Chains A and B, each alone.
Chain A
Amino acid sequence: MGRDRVIQIGFVGVASSSILVVGLIFLFLFKEAAPFAKHPGLAALLDNQWIPVSFQKERFGILPLAAGTVLVTSIAMLVSVPLSALAAVYIAEVAQPLEREILKPFIEILASIPSVVLGFFGLVVLAPLIKQFFGLNTGLNALTGGLLLALMAIPTIVSVSEDAINSVPATYRNGSMALGASRMQTIWRVVVPAALPGILGAVMLGTGRVIGETMAVLMVTGNAALITANPLSPVRTMTASIAAEMGEVPFGSIHYQALFWVGIVLLLITFGLNFVARRISVRYGMMR
């Protein structure tokens, strides 16, 4: 019995390593970022300009970067949510069994295409199209980034929403049909409302993925730290700033610390989104 007990304690230790890693992530992000709070102080992060390298005065306002992330994410969700919801309904409710077996994995391929490959595709195919269509000087802007990110959100939202729609009990459909409702009335007024919490969770997971995406936006958004709502303007997101600037900063400098603060803000946002999405899925029994 003694040996079994030792083994069990060993497994508890191994399993706790996930908690350890999460703890270490928070610890080391704050450790590297901390000196910034003393000098120049956290208020500097609320500046409305991000000019990390300057001969006069460096400015480290996260707002323009956050604005870039919000704009690109909004475009991505505006495009991907309706498309994904319709596709999920089609796959779950309309498609033939064989068709479903092929469609779902095929759309999920999108999720396994590396983001740098999608970014490359955006750079050489999508950006020139956008440039030509709107008659711009460059196709590298928030719209191109948003469309590319929509492609990354679609497989997540389709897959998780389809699971949610599938888990609506068949009795709901039968009851609705028996009362004389048509197929579409059943889908839109009975099945989809019942699956709504799951679909909402799917959208949140997709949003989390889009906010955290780095390479594709770095390659196609034009990287200008502007506060703008114009989708045809170049923007710079939080993730892209870290990736683009971290390689060139002296370790330990104020700029370096500011980039770690950007990382902390990103971590907290995605942590919040995932936490809520998880609460929803546990509450409504959508957890697979």
Chain B
Amino acid sequence: MNRQLRENIAILLLRFTTYAIVGVVGYILLDIIRHGLPVINWAFLSEMPRRGGSEGGILPAIVGTLYLTLGTVAIALPVGIGTAIYLSEYAAPGRLTETIRLAITTLAGVPSIVFGLFGLGLFVLFCQFGPSLLAGSLTLACMVLPTIIVTSEESLRAVPQAFRQASLALGATKWEAIRTAVLPYSVSGIITGAILGIGRAAGETAPILLTVAAFFLPKLPGSIFDQVMALPYHLYILATQHPDTDKVLPLQYGTAFVLLAMVLGLSLGAILIRVHFRRKYKW
């Protein structure tokens, strides 16, 4: 076999492998869209489930997931941004910084079900919040913290040093320089991080299994100490615990579609925001 032919075969093999992966991703998305989209209508999105989820809509699951993710971001965002500001603006290389970074990578690698155990032990039992929106949001907030820190820090570091120096040279204190000359230009990265965090919190099942999710609860939550239904948990229940899983298959696809659309929509939004701001600020 001559050399050129062998080269071409090798390249073909690489290309085939890559596009096979792409094909599988496409097939999964298409399968969910093909079977899920026809189920979606206004009643499905706006009605209470009936008869243990066999009929009716998924409104409480949508609202539950919405509240959960909002609670998560409200807790994780301030802490995440604060940590990112410290790491990018204040931290000197040393033991404390190294420990903080190790803690962040450790958090990023903790399995989601272990977060569930932790939330059960600390928030549900020790703090006596019970299975509730509050306990679930706190647990998810711990989980998405690394995502928010890493993306925020990256965007803070992308602001040129000259901005800080100019501000300091005009007599600003360090905090004033950060607040007026650095933070405004890293908003896009921070929003991106927040959205990615929301996306992750919205799709997770394992941490909420033990801390907040309700099997079947056809009413909307009234306080942060209430249990809620959530989309991923609802899908899990319909697909595995329902007495007649085949009959409710369309409802499963519908729920999967809504969840997927929500999560992928958020990721897409994050990408668009990044592109928009990258065009707006060029230095």
Contacts and interface: CB of A to CB of B under 8 A. Distances in A.
Residue from A7, A183, A266 whose CB has the most chain B CB atoms within 10 Å: A7
Contact of B122 (A8, A28, A246): A28
A270 B20 CA distance: 30
Contacts of A56: none
Interface in A9-50: 10-12, 14-19, 21-22, 24-25, 28-29, 31-32
Contact of B113 (A16, A22, A239): A239
A115 B145 CA distance: 19
Contacts of B67: none
B173 A28 contact: no
A4 B174 contact: yes
B22 A103 contact: yes
Given A105-B271, A151-B24, A31 B121 contact: yes
Contact of A214 (B113, B120, B252): B113
A116 B106 contact: no
Interface residues of B, number: 85
A87 B17 contact: yes
Contact of B264 (A87, A94, A109, A270): A109
A211 B249 CA distance: 29
A19 B100 contact: yes
A251 B205 contact: no
A215 B236 contact: yes
A267 interface: yes
Interface string A66-110: 000000000000000001101101110011000000010111011
Interface in B169-227: 173-175, 199-200, 202-206, 209-210
B236 A25 contact: no
Interface stretch (B40-48, B49-57, B79-87): B79-87
B267 A270 contact: no
A199 B25 CA distance: 22
Contact of B114 (A4, A15, A24, A267): A267
A269 B29 CA distance: 32
B232 A113 contact: no
Contacts of A22: 103, 106-107
A266 B111 contact: yes
Contacts of B113: 212, 214, 239, 242-243, 263, 266
Nearest to A15: B86
B250 to A, nearest CB: 11
B63 interface: no
A274 interface: yes
B114 A17 contact: no
A118 B203 contact: no
B108 A263 contact: no
Contacts of A215: 205-206, 232, 236
B104 interface: yes
Contacts of B115: 25
B262 to A, nearest CB: 9
A192 to B, nearest CB: 12
- What secondary structure prevails in chain A residues at the interface with B? helix
A1 B31 CA distance: 61
Interface stretch (A120-128, A167-175, A226-234): A120-128
A205 B146 CA distance: 15
A199 B205 CA distance: 30
Nearest to A11: B86
B17 A243 contact: no
Interface string A111-150: 0111111111101110000000000000000000000000
Contacts of A3: 173, 175
B98 to A, nearest CB: 10
A239 B111 contact: yes
Contacts of A14: 78-79, 82-83, 86
A274 B25 contact: no
B14 to A, nearest CB: 4
Interface of B: 3, 6-7, 10-11, 13-15, 17-18, 20-22, 24-25, 28-29, 31-32, 78-79, 82-83, 85-87, 89-91, 96, 99-100, 102-118, 120-122, 125-126, 142, 145-146, 149, 173-175, 199-200, 202-206, 209-210, 232-233, 235-236, 239-240, 249, 252, 256, 259-260, 263-264, 267, 271
